[in-house]
Amino acid sequence: MSTNSLDDVLRHACDLAATVLAEVATRTDEARGESGERDGQYAFDLDVDGPIVDALSSAGLGVLSEEAGVQHPDRALIAVVDPVDGSTNASLGLPWYATSICVVDDDGPLQSIVVNHASGTRFEATRGGGATRDGHPMAPPLARSFEDTVIGVNGRPPASPGWGQFRTFGAAALDLCAVAEGRLGGYVDFDDNAHGVWDYLGAVLVCQEVGVATGDAFDRSLLTLEHAERRTPVAGCTQAVFDRLRTLRTSN
């Protein structure tokens, strides 16, 4: 499949998600509640997931989805899918939730898309081809000292970590994209076993293509195609910021 064809497939999948989420926004608060099937899963997670998985599978891709698990794992390209990253935000009408898809081949992450459905902002990246925001090439973020950074976090940070400020937004894919575009100086997950690969992989490719340092706090590969595996993502606008955040995470 060509890069352009893959672009079209991923954009179409995200458009399907946007259509479902537009309908979800008209539902009552009760109808936007949790699915009851597992903790943290909302009914609309499943509503969005179905059309995305069908579209990607029909295009010849295997799929690893947070909601649907693994489909067609023998295919050459596997799409890692989070249909709604930031589901709780979406349920509350907070404008920080996204669909994230990252296509993986034998060499790792190949192409990704992260779409903020509240704003319509679209991040895309191709391995070795750079990253874009709404179709415009993204430049490396400005280097900042650790003491001057605003850090995105998941979980509860320790007291007096040494950074300038922090924010907890609740959608890892968008938080990491905010590092890639220079709005945040870094990101670190303080929860244990909180993130599946679908939460971060699409945004990690965006980060890598603009020169943001990324990795797992405990030095594991961020790429896994095992549904049950969890990682602790860290990102920094510079290697020095990344190193400080990883050290901070592993010592707490």
The domains of the chain are located at 3-137, 146-250
DSSP string across 202-246: HHHHHHHHTT-EEEETTS--S----TT--B-EEEESSHHHHHHHH
Specify whether the CB–CB gap between 14 and 113 falls below 8 A: yes
**CATH homologous superfamily of domain 3-137?**
Fructose-1,6-Bisphosphatase, subunit A, domain 1 (3.30.540.10)
- pLDDT tens column, 200-244: 999 999 999 999 999 999 999 999 999 999 999 999 999 999 999
Residue 35 has pLDDT above 60, yes or no: no
Domain covering 146-250 in this structure, CATH number: 3.40.190.80
- pLDDT tens column, 100-110: 999 999 999 99
Q: What is the predicted pLDDT for the residue at 147? A: 96
In which band, very low, low, confident or very high, does the pLDDT at 30 lie, cut at 50, 70 and 90? low
Q: How far apart are CA 250 and CA 232, in angstroms?
A: 10
For range 9-22, the mean pLDDT: 95
The more confidently predicted of residues 172 and 1 is: 172
Specify whether the backbone of 40 is left (phi greater than 0), alpha (psi in -120 to 50) or beta: left
* Rounded alpha-carbon distances, angstroms, from residue 47 to 128, 189, 231: 34, 28, 26
What's the whole-number average pLDDT of the chain? 93
Strands 130-133, 136-137: pairing kind: antiparallel
CA 159, 160, 166 angle in degrees (round to 5)? 90
Helix (H, G, I), strand (E, B) or coil at 34: strand
Q: How far apart are CA 82 and CA 208, in angstroms?
A: 19
